[in-house]
Amino acid sequence: MRVALAVPCYVDQLRPEAARATLVLLERLGCKVSLAFDAPCCGQPMNNAGAVADARAAATNWAASAGVFDVVVMPSGSCTHHVRHHLPGLVDNDRGNHAAQVTFELCEFITGPLGMAHLPGRFPHRVAMHLGCHAQRGLRLGGSSELHQPVSGPMHSLLCGLEGLTLVPLDRVDECCGFGGSFAVGEPELSVAMGRSRLADYTSHQAEVLVSSDPSCLLHLEGVARSPLVLSAAKDLRTMHIAELLEEATR
């Protein structure tokens, strides 16, 4: 199985530790990982902004890069969702379809193709789980409250399997953090208010660590937590990408 690690552009620039942890974790789990994936962006930001020509150019490059691999793994639910559900509409050929079929979010790859629902490891902390909207309602990697479904999914399974980890209950288990890409730019006040609401939910349940499979959500919540307008407890909340947490827990 030829596994490529695809590092989204914003991860490369703003959260490179998530990419490094993903590489170390995959190799620890027995994968031979290639870093030869040569596409800096899947085209999601441009597509969301309506810049279709630019999105198509990025998507075409992405599809070409994915063509030689059996699996492409990304530490991002939102980018995976774009590649799987929108890239074939931008690259309407066999390459586009192949890219959509072989691209996986990290947790779904571990519990799916790798067949590891649980990992041996220890993480003795109170953890709040945030599953991003694209991963939850786009990729269906977790239960949704509006469908009266329980909390579930690949990330939930991997967290629950770690020794010593306490997954804290939340009042609103699947509410948006307020980022939403261009939404945070167009509606900054509402975006920040939503972020403050999420942080209050985490801290009111004495969470020590906030974990997400989407670095964009983490970056947004970290920024809100640094604001003087939030509860002081939120400033002590450790934020981790799921790759960072799993890599630390399985050392």
| Per-residue pLDDT tens listing for the chain (251 residues) | 679 999 988 888 889 999 999 999 999 999 999 999 988 899 998 998 889 999 999 999 999 999 989 999 999 999 999 999 999 999 999 999 999 999 999 999 999 999 999 999 999 999 999 999 999 999 999 989 888 998 999 999 999 999 999 999 999 989 999 898 888 888 888 999 999 999 999 999 999 999 999 999 999 998 888 877 666 677 788 999 999 999 999 99
Residue spans of beta strands (DSSP E) within the chain = 3-5, 33-34, 71-74, 103-105, 126-130, 166-167, 209-212, 238-241
pTM: 0.92
Domains present along the chain, CATH in parentheses: 3-111 (no CATH), 126-249 (3.40.50)
Question: Which residues, listed in sequence order, are joined to residue 42 by a DSSP beta bridge?
Answer: none
Could you give the C-alpha distances from 173 to 137, 143, 168, 202, in angstroms and in order? 13, 10, 10, 10
Which residue type, as a one-letter code, is found at position 121? G
Neighbours of 45 (CB within 10 A): 19
Residues of the chain by 3-state class (helix, strand, coil), percent to 5? 50, 10, 35
CA 122 to centroid of chain Cα atoms: 21
Three-state secondary structure call for residue 65 = helix
Upper half-sphere CA count for residue 192 (Cβ side, 13 Å) = 12
3-5/33-34 β-pairing: parallel
